[in-house]
Amino acid sequence: MLFNSSNLSDSSKYTSLDSYVENMNESDDKIYFCVADTFEAATNSPHIEKLKSKNIEVLLLTDPNR
């Protein structure tokens, strides 16, 4: 499975779960994700601002068929 990510600036780029886990800090023990209608809504979500400010990657779960 491939996912959009807060570390990728384009909705046509994806990351795998394996890649996400590889890029996690060693102290991280959680997978962070944000569910939204669109890529733009997810990247602009106030719910992930604190994580983004700490350079924590967030998987963006959207519906590409909308």
User: What are the pLDDT digits (tens) for 20-33?
Assistant: 999 998 889 999 99
Domain-located, residue 66: no
Neighbouring CB atoms inside 10 A of 38's CB total 14
pTM of this structure: 0.89
Give me the half-sphere count of Cα atoms (radius 13 Å) on the Cβ side of residue 57: 21
Domain-located, residue 48: yes
Query: Where residue 63 falls among pLDDT bands split at 50, 70, 90?
Result: confident
Domain-located, residue 42: yes
Domain-located, residue 27: yes
Domain-located, residue 29: yes
Q: Which domain holds residue 21?
A: 2-61
28, 32, 24, 26: which is closest to 59 by C-alpha?
32
- CATH code where residue 20 lies: 3.40.50.11260
DSSP-assigned beta bridge partners for residue 5: 59
Domain count, the chain: 1
Q: Using one digit for the tens of pLDDT, what is the confidence trace for 1-56?
A: 999 999 998 999 999 999 999 999 888 999 999 999 999 999 999 999 999 999 99
